[in-house]
Amino acid sequence: MIHHSGHVEVICGSMFCGKTEELIRRVRRAVIARQTVQVFKPNIDVRYELDSVVTHTGQKIGAQPVRASDDIISQLNPDTTVVAIDEIQFLDSSVVGVIEQLANRGLRIIVAGLDLDFRAEPFGAMPALLAIAEEVTKLRAICVVCGEHACRSQRLVNGQPARYDDPIILVGAKESYEARCRQHHIVPGSPHGAD
């Protein structure tokens, strides 16, 4: 199926909110609709499998790892009508232009990623992607401290909250992160008072 107009769908939220599950659900529905789909992911995401997008609960779908956003263009098949990209926050800022180019060519673009880093600050190209998207879905997890809705990703180092000046990118899962609400998200050394 060829789309008559391209568009961008962004799925965002904290760790453990179901972003990848939602991306996989949309991809599977596109496949059922006999659309030609390609799935991409940053090659630094090696938590589960290099050539698959995998949820924390074990759902998976095949994916092509890319080093940089330009690799999406070079690896794109001519008959592809739907492009899905997981963990988009790990790609370079040029990904915004790549996505605009593909959507302008009539492709449906589905991306998923963290909107905030562990400091609770906008992550990578996500603010620009949220601005250009025709559709935004913001999911929330459950705070491990109080059970309320979680909108933050709490990074832990040896069981303690990571400091504000720790490196931004640390690919991990339950061994390094927890979902937390605003009240229980702690970042020692934050200029925003989240400690």
9, with CB counted inside 10 A (0-12, 13-18, 19+), is buried
Choose, from 87, 121, 135, 148, the residue flagged as catalytic: 87
Structural contact between residues 180 and 152, judged by C-beta atoms closer than 8 angstroms: yes
87 is catalytic: yes
- Identify the bridge partners of residue 11 per DSSP, sorted by sequence position: 112, 137
Give me 135's structure tokens: 């559709």
The whole-angstrom separation of Cα 75 and Cα 22 is 24
The whole-angstrom separation of Cα 53 and Cα 148 is 28
How close are the terminal C-alpha atoms of the chain, in Å? 51
Report, as residue numbers or ranges, the catalytic residues: 87
